[in-house]
């Protein structure tokens, strides 16, 4: 490559990156996961578009695997352990038993309704069985879901890539010789060892970073992210689940009180977005649109089976031993988004030489696009319909502020609804726990700093600064007064979550 060609390649890459970043704004406004627009960019650049020919499936698999690891590390670094602590057990069952149920249901439907042979049917079921971390994390950033529901979705999407990868590799053997006992033993080994490596790597890394003073603050995000990738590679080298190791190591690092929390999180999100953009554009390049039309009906049939039977059945069976309200189960069933993970997994059997495996890539690609278009924009209405989103619930605002980071402070916003008993309560009477404070009130388009005797009115939007330690107490106080007024405690109302 000449120097001039290098400049042209960098120019084209930069323009594609900027176009993809601009596409995220469009996607967020219409309620779609941005993966669809990234895929569209890749397809537009491909052989049926601008003519760029890319058909190296093995390279796509390798780069896709690395990108998925980066996305999982980013997801772990932006996860609060307090959000997932109480849902680890149901998330673990949903990520293992649920994947198995979805695989069997989708494979059975593909075999008997479409006449696909059992090996390809089982591969197809395993490929589409897991929810996609990138899609789920992007949804959680814009939907103010209850912490239990968001935490369950987040933990499940972080855990369930590992079982899906294991099943895909097992079913990719040629000829297929499936032994349930051997497969179960392999799943247990990969999950247990992968989890162990991730947890140990996270704890060792957190201990080291707390004791070592690096010469520049910018090195902390690099070191934190590198520790997650080291855990991924170490687990993979031990033939264990690198995806699970990467996610758990990142969760441990994110919740160990390391310095520069905001910088670590921002750096991780930037790398996560870069990995998503590169991954989806690459996968868009890999498919040939003219070949997709023949697989439209099979993709829709499998998608309908998965959406209306496989996913709901996996949720009901997995959560049978847990007290999860039916409204939340309905939303969890509908929110089983598919994205990059299935498309990347569809490249595995092609590389392994499974006959007719290229067909799976086209089916999965269509399935992801069609059902993301259906599920993505409908998540907010479904959440509202199930009563999971309340307009007066506090919502976190991400801010880049060194003083807030040093104080471990958080910024929340809350809207006072017409039936709220917060109306006519003064700031002093609200008695938020110290050091929580209402810093601004937005009323009828005007913003002002409240005084102790300022009375809250219906329609006000409150801007609240609190700390990580007092956030839950502040939210409970706000809920209590909103329900029963300033004498809420006299009525035994302490603002517990519904």
Residue 1: inside a domain: no
Instruction: Tell which phi-psi region holds residue 51, choosing left (phi > 0), alpha (psi between -120 and 50) or beta.
Output: left
**Residues 129-153, mean pLDDT to the nearest whole number:** 76
Instruction: Tell whether 376 and 427 lie within a shared domain.
Output: no
Question: Quick one: pLDDT at residue 29?
Answer: 59
Same domain for 373 and 431? no
Last residue of a domain, one of 358, 385, 412: 385
What's the pLDDT tens digit per position in 3-23?
887 888 788 778 877 877 776
Inform me whether the pLDDT recorded for 266 exceeds 80.
no
In a domain, 205, yes or no: yes
So what's the pLDDT on residue 384? 83
Are 361 and 447 in the same domain?
A: no
| pLDDT beyond 80 at 188 | yes
Distance between CA atoms of 318 and 91, rounded to whole angstroms? 9
Would the pLDDT of 218 be above 80?
no
Domain shared by 276 and 421, yes or no: no
What's 292's domain CATH number?
Answer: 1.20.1530.20
More confident residue, 157 or 399: 157
Domain boundary among 356, 385, 414: 385
Q: Is the residue at 8 inside a domain? A: no
- Domain residue limits at 484: 395-491
169-177: average pLDDT: 78
Residue 43's contacts (CB-CB under 8 Å, 6 or more residues apart) are 49, 284, 285, 287, 289
In a domain, 2, yes or no: no
Q: Is the same domain home to 198 and 267?
A: yes
Both 402 and 379 in a single domain? no
pLDDT at 25 over 80: no
**464: CATH:** 3.30.70.1450
Residue 93 has pLDDT above 60, yes or no: yes
Query: Do both 339 and 372 map to the same domain?
Result: yes
Q: Answer yes or no: do 52 and 199 share one domain.
A: yes
* 98-126 average pLDDT score: 91
In this structure, the answer to whether residues 287 and 370 fall within a common structural domain is yes
Pairing of strands 437-443, 409-415: unpaired
pLDDT(139) > 70: no
CA dihedral sign, ordered 399, 403, 409, 412: negative
Q: How many helices (H) and strands (E) does the chain have?
A: 22, 5
Helices 219-237, 242-254: inter-axial angle, 10-degree rounding: 150
Instruction: Look at the block and give the residue holding tokens 């509202």.
Output: 384
Same domain, 129 and 166: yes
Q: At what angle do helices 133-140 and 261-286 cross, to 10 degrees?
A: 130
- pLDDT at site 49: 67
CB 170 within 8 A of CB 190: no
> How buried is 272 (Cβ within 10 angstroms: 0-12 exposed, 13-18 middle, 19+ buried)?
buried
Question: 77 in a domain, yes or no?
Answer: yes
Comparing 58-62, 256-260, 347-351, the range with the smallest average pLDDT is 256-260
Cis peptide before 261 (omega within 30 of 0): no
Q: Is position 498 within any domain?
A: no
Tell me the average pLDDT of the chain: 83
Least confident of 39-43, 207-211, 291-295, 322-326: 39-43
What percent of the chain is predicted at pLDDT more than 70?
89
Report d(CA 307, CA 371) in Å as an integer.
9
- Rounded Cα distance between 344 and 169, Å, is 13
Angle (CA) 447-451-456 rounded to 5° is 65
In the predicted model, is pLDDT for residue 141 greater than 70? Answer: no
**How many domains is the chain partitioned into structurally?**
2
Q: Which of 343, 360, 385 is the last residue of a domain?
A: 385
Over 80: is that where the pLDDT of 159 sits? yes
In a domain, 430, yes or no: yes
Could you read off the pLDDT of 377-424 as tens digits, one per residue?
788 888 888 888 765 556 655 555 445 555 567 788 888 988 888 999
Asked if residue 484 is part of any domain, the answer here is: yes
Residues 336 and 413 grouped into a single domain: no
Tell whether 129 and 239 lie within a shared domain. Answer: yes
Task: Give yes or no for a contact between 126 and 345, defined as CB atoms under 8 angstroms apart.
Answer: yes
Among 132, 119, 175, 124, residue whose Cα is nearest residue 39: 132
């Amino acid at each position: 490559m000449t120097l001039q060609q290098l400049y042209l390649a960098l120019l084209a890459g930069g323009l594609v990156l900027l176009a993809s970043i601009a596409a995220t704004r469009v996607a967020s406004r219409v309620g779609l996961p941005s993966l669809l627009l990234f895929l569209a960019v890749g397809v537009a650049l491909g052989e049926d578009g601008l003519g760029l020919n890319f058909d190296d499936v093995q390279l796509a698999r390798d780069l896709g695997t690395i990108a998925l690891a980066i996305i999982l590390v980013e997801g772990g670094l932006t996860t609060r352990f307090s959000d997932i602590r109480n849902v680890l057990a149901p998330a673990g069952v949903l990520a293992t038993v649920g994947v198995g149920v979805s695989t069997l249901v989708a494979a059975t439907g593909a075999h008997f309704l479409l006449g696909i042979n059992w090996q390809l049917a089982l591969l197809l079921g395993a490929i589409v069985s897991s929810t996609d971390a990138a899609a789920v994390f992007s949804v959680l950033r814009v939907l103010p879901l209850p912490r239990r529901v968001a935490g369950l979705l987040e933990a499940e999407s972080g855990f369930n890539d590992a079982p899906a990868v294991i099943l895909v590799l097992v079913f990719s053997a040629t000829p297929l010789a499936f032994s349930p006992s051997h497969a179960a033993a392999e799943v247990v080994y990969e999950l247990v060892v992968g989890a162990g490596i991730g947890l140990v790597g996270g704890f060792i890394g957190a201990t080291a970073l707390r004791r070592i003073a690096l010469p520049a603050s910018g090195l902390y995000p690099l070191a934190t992210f590198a520790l997650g990738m080291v855990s991924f590679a170490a687990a993979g080298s031990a033939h264990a689940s690198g995806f699970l190791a990467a996610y758990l190591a990142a969760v441990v690092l994110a919740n160990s009180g390391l310095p520069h929390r905001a910088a670590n999180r921002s750096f991780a999100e930037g790398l996560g977005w870069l990995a998503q953009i590169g991954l989806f554009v690459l996968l868009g390049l890999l498919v040939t649109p003219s070949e997709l039309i023949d697989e439209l009906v099979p993709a829709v049939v499998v998608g309908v089976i998965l959406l209306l039977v496989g996913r709901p059945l996996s949720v009901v069976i997995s959560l049978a031993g847990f007290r999860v309200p039916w409204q939340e189960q309905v939303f969890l069933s509908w929110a089983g988004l598919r994205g990059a993970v299935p498309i990347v997994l569809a490249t595995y059997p092609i590389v392994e030489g499974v006959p007719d495996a290229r067909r799976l890539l086209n089916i999965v690609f269509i399935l992801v696009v069609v059902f993301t278009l259906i599920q993505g924009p409908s998540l907010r209405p479904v959440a509202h319909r199930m009563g999971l989103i309340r307009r007066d619930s506090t919502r976190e605002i991400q801010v880049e502020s060194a003083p807030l980071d040093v104080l471990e402070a958080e910024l929340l916003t809350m809207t006072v609804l017409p039936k709220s008993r917060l109306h006519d309560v003064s700031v002093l009477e609200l008695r938020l726990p110290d050091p929580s404070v209402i810093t601004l009130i937005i009323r009828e388009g005007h913003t002002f700093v409240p005084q102790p005797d300022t009375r809250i009115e219906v329609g006000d939007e409150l801007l609240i600064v609190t700390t990580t330690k007092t956030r839950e107490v502040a939210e409970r106080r706000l809920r209590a007064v909103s329900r029963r007024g300033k004498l809420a405690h006299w009525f035994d109302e302490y603002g517990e979550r519904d």
